[in-house]
Amino acid sequence: MLELVAMAEEDGWAFVRTGEELVVVQPPYQAWSRTKATASQLEQAICRHGFKQAGEPFPDWGQLIQHLKQRQVAAWQERGGTGLTEREMEEMVQELSSDRLAEFLDHVETELLPRQQWAAAEKLLRVLLGVRTVLDSDFLRHRTLSLWDRCQEKRKSVMNVSAGEVAWRFPHTPRSYQELGNARAQAGSPFC
């Protein structure tokens, strides 16, 4: 049994008692964002940092974290908070350091392409191709373009299946879709 001892709902931070131990949990609620705390830190959090005493029991971490997330979003929305628009996010990307942009390219190369998440990869690469830092850096620009080409090639290699091959591999696919030779038809997606 866990006890939610105190929380700062607007930020999703909380002091939780797990048996004898007191811990602080913070977004994104990973093992590395959970730290041991002391009674005096709890006191400071309440007296000086706006945490509110709670005293609610929870059967497991999943439910507790779900509760923290819900309270956080509710408090945010109550204050009129809204998410960023796509344009605002693209502006943020414009301001990222070249190291961070390189990490984004790593993500495309090692996560998105191997998982065949073409649309996501293209979206990210398209945004990166509009970033001044990328355009001004030979290394980043070439790498982005090269990943873009790889994404297009891989996507094409999956999509460019002849109608005959689709019919042979997926005999139950309607003829009209066999002729499209697209990814959905290959998968025999029942969208007819």
Partner 1 sequence: MRQQINLFARANQNSGHIEARYAVCLTGEVGPVLTEFAAFVRQEGRISINCKPTDCEQFLTTGQYWNAHELAEVAAQHSGRTKEEELEEHLADYYIKRRGFDETFANGECFRYGALNTGGMGAVYYGGSYGGYCVVLQGDFPETRGEVAYVKYDSLDNYVDAAGRVDVARLGPNLAADSHKCRLAAIKHEAEIATHPRDAWPSLLCAGTYMEAVFLQPPVRTAIDRVRMDAHYMADTEHMLKTALTTGLAGDEAKRLSTYRKIQLLLREHHIVLEGV
Shortest reach from residue 59's CB to partner 1, in Å: 21
H or E stretch including 151? helix 138-159
Give the residue, chosen from 88, 171, 172, 191, that forms a contact with partner 1 under the rule CB under 8 A. Answer: 88
Give the residue, chosen from 27, 57, 130, 164, that forms a contact with partner 1 under the rule CB under 8 A. Answer: 27
Angle at 120 between CA 118 and CA 126, to 5 degrees: 95
Q: How far out from the chain centre does Cα 27 lie?
A: 13
Asked if 147 touches partner 1 (CB under 8 A), the answer is no
Asked if 78 touches partner 1 (CB under 8 A), the answer is no
Asked if 115 touches partner 1 (CB under 8 A), the answer is no
**Pick 93 or 145: Cβ nearer partner 1:** 93
Long-range contacts of range 50-55, CB-CB < 8 Å, 24 or more positions apart?
50/8, 51/6, 51/7, 51/8, 51/13, 51/15, 52/6, 52/7, 52/8, 52/9, 53/5, 53/6, 54/4, 54/5, 54/6, 54/7, 54/14, 55/3, 55/4, 55/5
* Nearest in space to 10 (alpha carbons), one of 26, 32, 33: 26
Stretch that binds partner 1, among 77-85, 132-140, 152-160, 167-175 (CB under 8 A): 77-85
CA distances from 16 to 12, 24, 44, 65, 158 (A): 12, 6, 15, 11, 49
Asked if 21 touches partner 1 (CB under 8 A), the answer is no
Give the residue, chosen from 11, 129, 133, 182, that forms a contact with partner 1 under the rule CB under 8 A. Answer: 11
Shortest reach from residue 133's CB to partner 1, in Å: 13
**Pick 68 or 161: Cβ nearer partner 1:** 68
Give the residue, chosen from 102, 120, 129, 167, that forms a contact with partner 1 under the rule CB under 8 A. Answer: 120
Q: What span, in angstroms and rounded, lies between the C-alpha atoms of 12 and 70?
A: 9
Residues that bind partner 1 (CB under 8 A): 8, 10-13, 23-24, 26-28, 32-33, 35-38, 40-41, 43-50, 52-53, 68-69, 72-73, 76, 81-84, 86, 88-90, 92-93, 95-96, 100, 103-104, 107, 112, 117, 119-120, 123-124, 127
